[in-house]
Amino acid sequence: MQSTVELQAPMAFQQIWAWLAALLIILAVFLQVFFRIRRARKGDLPPKKIRIKKPPAKMLPEIKDRYLVKLDVLEKQLSAGLIDVRAAFQELSSVIRNFVFEVTGIEVQNYTLFEIRQLNMPHLTKLIEEYYTPEFARTTRKRGFSSINKTREVIRRWY
């Protein structure tokens, strides 16, 4: 039997596809090594220094008074039932974070609890830890008044 179809050579396809596959494999290996080295070095870097900008000494009492008034308003709203406990803790967190921002220049209102722990400000860390559960829980047994008093004391004693 005769056929008009001729057989093709075994490697008749273009070699560009083989080169392209090899290039992609090499690129993948290079990127893997690059990012592993980068990640390993990143852990060795010293933590970034945070610059604390203190307000003028005569302005500190004024800033403290402003935030103590905010705490008084919050306490009255909570006792009158105008806001629930969760909203009170959210506002309480906002008050102390904004206060710390005003007196230090550190934008703690954008920080997570982990980042706040890194700042080495134990009073702030303790307060934020106390706020977290009632602030994000659906229900809580806390009433909020003791937390407001603790926050008031931290603001009063701020240097």
C-alpha distances out from residue 39 to 32, 89, 126, 129, 153, Å: 11, 37, 31, 30, 42
- Say if residue 19's pLDDT is above 80: yes
**Residue with structure tokens 């004024």?**
62
Answer yes or no: is 25 within a domain: no
Q: How many domains does the chain have?
A: 1
Give 31-78 pLDDT, tens digit per residue. 999 988 887 776 655 556 777 788 888 899 999 999 999 999 999 999
Residue 42 lies in a domain: no
Cβ 154 vs Cβ 127: under 8 Å: yes
Instruction: Write down the pTM of the prediction.
Output: 0.66
Residue 10 lies in a domain: no
CB 116 within 8 A of CB 131: no
| Residue whose C-alpha is closest to residue 158's, from 64, 55, 53 | 64
Q: Provide the 3-class DSSP secondary structure of residue 81.
A: coil
What pLDDT is recorded for position 10? 60
Cα separation, 23 vs 4, in Å, equals 39
DSSP assignment, residue 53? -
Residue 120, pLDDT score? 85
Question: Where in the sequence is the domain holding 86, given as residue range(s)?
Answer: 60-157
Tokens 């993948």: give the residue: 28
- Domain membership flag for residue 135: yes
Asked if residue 92 is part of any domain, the answer here is yes
**100-158 confidence digits (pLDDT tens):** 999 998 899 999 888 888 888 899 999 999 888 777 777 666 778 889 999 999 999 98
